[in-house]
Amino acid sequence: MEFRYLGNSGLKISEITYGNWITHGSQVENDVAGQCVRAALDAGITTFDTADVYANTAAETVLGEALAGERRESLEIFTKVYWPTGPGGPNDSGLSRKHITESINGSLRRLKTDYVDLYQAHRFDTETPLEETMQAFADVVRSGKALYIGVSEWTADQIRAGAALAKDLNIQLISSQPQYSMLWRVIEPEVVPTCEELGLSQIVWSPIAQGVLTGKYLPGQPPPEGSRATDENGGSFFIQRLMTDDILNAVQALKPIAEDVDLTLAQLAVAWVLQNPNVASALVGASRPEQVVENVKAAGVTLPEATMVAIDDVLGDVVVRDPGMTAKSAPAGRPT
């Protein structure tokens, strides 16, 4: 396993982060989830990412139990706040002082830890003053409940405003967690340059594009039984926009490129995002321990320039690059 600094901080994280969105607490049984976490630890992964909204807090509980007994100082544990949790009351979502304060306490309890290494705003809250949000995050840091602050799916302008307030409050905003893959490059024109300027790194989710970049989905054929595309509890809704023949045909054309560098398609996809110097880590999940073992092989890989060019040539127009998609994908108001 290789390690990279997270933003302009002294914190190092593993190039592969194990994330438990969708899987833990919903898609896979707890004993299998525990096996996946053990496989991650055995492979050298030290960084684990979750969120209170995943399986309505159950994912944090599963991760906390799976990591129990490990040396806390040897781990980097990340979680997030914003989306509705609990029964969905008027203050059970967003980035108000009330919700942040209550959410960090619940997350720490479920994760069985006194602090998280990174506490992230899971989206931008259009209904709470940013000053209130950043002051609440500052208080979380000063209380020792989080070491650093990050954001997820914020636009470049939102990141810039948040970073300015963080600087005024003397806390470290060090990361952005956006979707990023060969097929989804919307962060490249604006978010990445802004983060490079301000000293933030990317921790990218869905580098394998919901599994589409494994090549297991074939054009003109039904998805394999038991795959994410067939599982309503496993994210079938999120994968639908990728299940077009144009995209699936392009992905199949990547196979010889992966073979040329002795990687599987999934490994090529993870290695590709790690070629971006602003990316500190690629988030990967798993429903089986073997998937963790395979994905970790992308760490430390340097892809030749010819390979990067060949990937661009094959994917062509199926790549989404519009920086406006970050804002378009965000909720217009606080979810309930």
Which residues carry out catalysis? 54
- Report the alpha-carbon distance of residue 146 to residue 100 in Å, rounded: 12
Interacting residues of 209 by C-beta distance below 8 A, sequence separation 6+ = 181, 182, 183, 184, 242, 269
Tokens 């290494």 correspond to what residue? 117
CA quadruple 7, 11, 15, 16: dihedral, nearest 10: -110
66 touches 34 (CB < 8 A)? yes
Alpha helices in 143-254 (DSSP H): 156-168, 191-198, 236-239, 245-252
- Report the alpha-carbon distance of residue 242 to residue 145 in Å, rounded: 38
Residue type, 265: L
